[in-house]
Chains A and B, each alone.
Chain A
Amino acid sequence: MLNIKDLHASIEDKRILNGLSLQVNAGEVHAIMGPNGSGKSTLSQVLAGREEFNVDSGEVEWMGQNLLEMAIEERARSGLFLAFQYPIEIPGVSNAYFLRAAVNAVRRHQGLPELDAMDFLKRVKEEMKAVGMKEEFLYRSVNEGFSGGEKKRNEVLQMTLLEPKLAILDETDSGLDIDALRVVADGVNRMRSPDRALIVITHYQRLLDYIVPDYVHVLSGGRIIRSGDFSLAQELEERGYGWVKELEAEQQKQGARA
C-alpha cells in the first residue's frame, strides 16, 4: 500500500529525514516511536504533502502511484488521512460545514453521490456519539476554543467519517487524559480492518497498550534505526530514549566504517 524508499527531506536547509525506508501493507498497524526532534512529525507532514518541506531524494509509492507527485487534496481523496498533532482552528467555519465538505470531496472522488445535509447529519451524529462528542461541536467553529482532548476527538471523528485506506495518527495521544485516550483508542481500533492500514506516531508506549501494533519502528536522526514487534515498544519504555541515542551513534559509527 505504502512503500517509502530512502527518503530524505529538509526544511530551510535543515536535514530532517535522512534515508527513511518503510513498507506498510493493508491490514497492518505500524507504530513509529522516537525521541523529540527525530523526524516523526516531519514524516507525517511530508506524506500528507506539506509544501514547507523539501523532499531532497527518495521515493514514496502509494497505491501504485508516486505519492510525491500528488497534490495535497489528491492524497486525501485517494484515502490517505493525517490526524494532526496540533489541529488548526478555523474561526467562522462551522465544524459541520468542514466535515461535510471533507466527506463530499472524498465521495466525489470515489464517484459516489454527495451526502445532503440530512443524510450527513444522521451519519455524523452517530459517529460523534461513538467518539464521545456532544452535538454542539457541529455548530462551533472548527477547533476554535476546543480543549486539547476535544481537538483530538475531532480528528478521530474526521478519520471515522472519511474512512481512509491509510490513517497516520501524529501524536494523537499527547495531551489526553486516560479516559480520552481510551475513547481515541477505541475509535482507532474500530477502524482496523484487513484493507486498511494505520501508522501510529507516538512518543510514549501508553497509547500502544490500547492500540496494539503489528510492527514497532524506532526513529532517530531521521531514519528508522530499529524495527520489531510490540516487545520493542516495551523495551523502549523500560530502557528510555537514551538507549536509542546510543544505538543511533553506534549505527553511525558502523556506517562511517563501511
Chain B
Amino acid sequence: MSAVQTWLDDFAGRQQQLPGATLPWLHAMRKRAIDRFAAEGWPSQREEDWRHTSLAPLQQATFNTQVVSASAQQIADQVKALRGEENGHWLVFVDGRYEPSLGQLGSLPAGVRLGTLADALSHEADLVQEVFGNETDGSSVAALNLALTCDGAYLHLARGVALEESVNIVFVASGDQIAAFPRNLYVAESGAHGNVVEHYVGRDGNVSLTNTVSRMHVAADARLVHTRLQQEAHESFHLAAIDVEQDGKSYFASNSVSLGARIARHDIATRFDGERAENLLNGVYFADGQRHVDHHTLIGHAQPNCVSNELYRGILADRGRGVFRGRILVAPGADGTDAIQRNDSLLLSKLARSDSRPELEIYAEDVRCTHGATVGQLSDESLFYLMARGLDKTHARNVLVYAFVLEGLSRIEPEGVRRRASNAVRALMPGGSMLGELA
C-alpha cells in the first residue's frame, strides 16, 4: 500500500543520504515537510481542491524508491526516439535519478548554469534556497515531494542572458512500482530569455508514481516559456505542481500537454509580484479508458496592470474524465487587471465527463475578467460535410478532433516543441500520424 506510513519510513531511512542533508535549513525544512504529510496524509475528496479527483487508486498501489535497473539499452532507445533530430540541451533522469550518459548538455553561453539540483545544492545553496520553496506551499503532495526529492533540473539564467536553444529535461519512469520525486528550479534573472521543456515518459503497463514540482522565478523584463509533455504509462500516477513568481514586465508561458497516466493532476499557480507582467497558460489534454486528467490553476493578480490568458482544451473518450478549476484572484489595488480564462471540452463518448469550474475573486476596481467553459461533441453536420467530400469516417473524425485542440497547440513555442506536441496528439488517433498539418 502506498500508505502514509510507507513514506514516513522511507524518509526516516533515507534522510541522511538525501542531497543537502548537511544544510541545516534544508534538513529542517524536509522534516517539517514530512511532518505535514504525516499530519495531512494524501489529499481527500473532502478537500475543496480535490473534490473531483480521488487518489484512492494511488493509495491502493505499492511503491518504493529503490532503483530497479530496467534495461539501460531500452531507456537509451526511448530517449533517442524522443530527441529525434532536435538539438538543444538534454538532461535525463531515470526514476528520479540523473543519468548524465543519456543526456547532452551542449555548450552553454556565459551566464547560464544548467545542471542538477543535487549539484546546485552543493555549489550554490544560497541561490537554490531563494527559489526552493517551503513545506507550506501547495498541497500535502508537494510537501511530500519536498521531503523526499533527491534530484531535479536546475537552470539559472543570469541578467540579460538569452538561451536560444531549448532546455529539454526527460523524466523516464522505467520501473514498475517505482516512485520518483523530481524537483526542478528555473530562474530567469532580469531581462533573461529561456525556454524549458519537461518530458515525462514511462513504459506501458508499469504502475509508477511521479510526484513532481517545478518552481520558477521570472525576474523583471525576463521571459520564460515552460512546456511539459506528459506521456506516461496509462496505469501510472502523475502529480505535478508548478509554481511561478513573476516580477514587473516579465512574460511567462506554461504549456501543459497531458496525454498519459491513469490519474494526472496539475496544480499550476502563478503570482504577479510586479506591474505590467503577462502570462499565458495553455493546456491540451486527453483521457480515454478510465483515465482522469485534472488541471487546477491559480493566477494571483497581486499587482496592477497585469495580463493573464488561460486556454485549456480537453478531449475525453470512453469513460475518460477531465477536470478544470481555474481560480483568478485579483488582490485589492490590482487595478487594470486583464484576465481571460477558457476551458473547452470535447466528449467523444456518452460516458466521458468533464467538470469545469471558474472561480473569480476580485477585490480591485477597473478590472477586466472574462471566463467561459464549453462542453461539446463532434458535430454530425461537420462529419457529414467532410465525408460528402470523400473523407472516410476515421479521417473525418481525426480532422475534427485534432482541429479542436489545434488552437491550444498553435500557441506552443518554439516551433520544434510545438511539432513534437502536435505529433504526440496525432499519435493518439487511429491513423492520426497520416493526418498532416491542418492549418
Residue numbers of A with Cβ under 8 A of B are 48-52, 71-73, 75-77, 82, 84, 87-88, 90-94, 97-98, 101-102, 105-106, 109, 139, 158, 162
7 A-B contacts, Cβ less than 8 Å apart? A72-B387, A73-B388, A77-B390, A92-B439, A93-B403, A93-B438, A94-B439
Interface residue from B388, B404, B436 paired with A76 (Cβ < 8 Å): B388
For A77, what are the chain B residues with a Cβ–Cβ distance below 8 Å?
Answer: 390
| B123-146 contact mask (Cβ, 8 Å, vs A): 1 or 0 | 000000000000000000000000
Bound CA–CA A91/B6 (angstroms): 50
In the complex, whether B391 has a CB less than 8 A from a CB of chain A is yes
From B382, B407, B436, B437, contact of A90 by CB (8 A): B382
Give the docked Cα–Cα distance between A241 and B384 (Å): 32
| Least CB distance, B400 to chain A, in whole angstroms | 7
Residues of B contacting A52 in the complex (Cβ-Cβ under 8 angstroms): 380
B389 beta carbon closer than 8 Å to chain A:
yes
Q: Quick one: which of B385, B390, B406, B436 has the most chain A CB within 10 A?
A: B390
Complex partner residue of B438 from A71, A87, A94, A102, CB under 8 angstroms: A94
* Nearest CB in chain B: distance from A64 CB, A: 20
A92–B391 CB distance below 8 A:
no
A97 CA to B386 CA, complexed, in Å: 11
A92, A97, A158, A162 pick with most chain B CB within 10 angstroms = A92
Q: Is the CB of A76 within 8 A of B390?
A: yes
Is there an interface contact between B391 and A101, defined as CB atoms closer than 8 Å?
yes
Whether B388 lies near A92 (C-beta < 8 A) is: no
Q: Which residue of A lies closest to B387 (CB)?
A: A72
Q: CB distance A162 to B385 under 8 Å?
A: no
Docked Cα-Cα span, A51 to B383, in Å, equals 11
Minimum CB distance partner of B384 in chain A? A50
Across the interface, name the chain B residue whose C-beta is closest to A161. B389
Given known contacts A50-B384, A84-B385, A97-B437, is B403 in contact with A90 (CB within 8 Å)?
A: yes
Determine the residue in chain B with the shortest Cβ distance to A76: B390
* B51 at interface, CB cutoff 8 A: no
Q: How far is the CA of A26 from the CA of B382 in the complex (A)?
A: 30
Question: Does A90 contact B400, Cβ atoms closer than 8 Å?
Answer: yes
**Closest chain A residue to B381 by CB distance?**
A88
Residues of the B chain whose Cβ atoms lie less than 8 Å from the Cβ of A98: 386, 389
**With contact pairs A52-B380, A92-B438 given, residues A73 and B403 touching in the complex (Cβ less than 8 Å):** no
Shortest CB-to-CB span from A240 to chain B, Å, is 33
The residue of chain B having its C-beta at the shortest distance from the C-beta of A79 within the complex is B390
B385 adjacent to A76 (CB under 8 Å): no
Bound-complex Cα distance A82 to B390 (A): 11
- Residue B99 interfacial (CB < 8 Å): no
- Bound complex: CA of A193 vs CA of B404, how far in Å? 40
Q: Which B residues are CB-close (under 8 A) to A75?
A: 388
Smallest beta-carbon distance A88→chain B, Å: 4
Inter-chain CA distance A90–B386, complex, in Å, is 9
A21 vs chain B, min Cβ distance (A): 24
Q: How far is the CA of A122 from the CA of B380 in the complex (A)?
A: 32
B147 within 8 A of partner (CB): no
B390 touches A106 (CB 8 A): yes
Q: In the docked arrangement, what's the CA distance between A82 and B388, Å? A: 7
**B162 proximal to A (CB < 8 A):** no
Q: Apart from A76-B389, A101-B395, what are 19 other A-B pairs with CB-CB below 8 Å?
A: A48-B384, A49-B388, A50-B384, A71-B393, A73-B388, A77-B390, A88-B379, A90-B382, A90-B385, A92-B402, A92-B404, A92-B406, A94-B438, A98-B386, A98-B389, A101-B390, A101-B399, A105-B392, A158-B389
Measured CB to CB, the nearest residue on chain B to A84 is B385
Kindly state the separation between the CA atoms of A20 and B402 in the bound complex, as whole angstroms.
40
Which of B379, B386, B395 gathers most chain A CB within 10 Å? Answer: B386
Q: A73-B392, A106-B390 are in contact. Are A97 and B436 (CB under 8 A)?
A: yes
Q: How far is the CB of A71 from chain B (nearest CB, A)?
A: 8
A-B pairs, top 4 by smallest CB distance, nearest first, are A92-B403, A105-B390, A102-B389, A88-B385
Contact yes or no, A72 B439, CB < 8 A: no
Most chain B CB atoms below 10 A, which of A48, A101, A158: A101
Asked if residues B437 and A48 are in contact (CB atoms below 8 Å), the reply is no
Chain A residues with CB below 8 A from B407, complex form: 92
Asked if residues B380 and A73 are in contact (CB atoms below 8 Å), the reply is no
Give the docked Cα–Cα distance between A50 and B385 (Å). Answer: 9
C-alpha gap A98/B386 in the complex (Å): 8
Which of B381, B385, B439 is within 8 Å of A97, CB to CB?
B439
Q: Measured between C-beta atoms, what is the minimum distance from B151 to chain A in Å?
A: 40
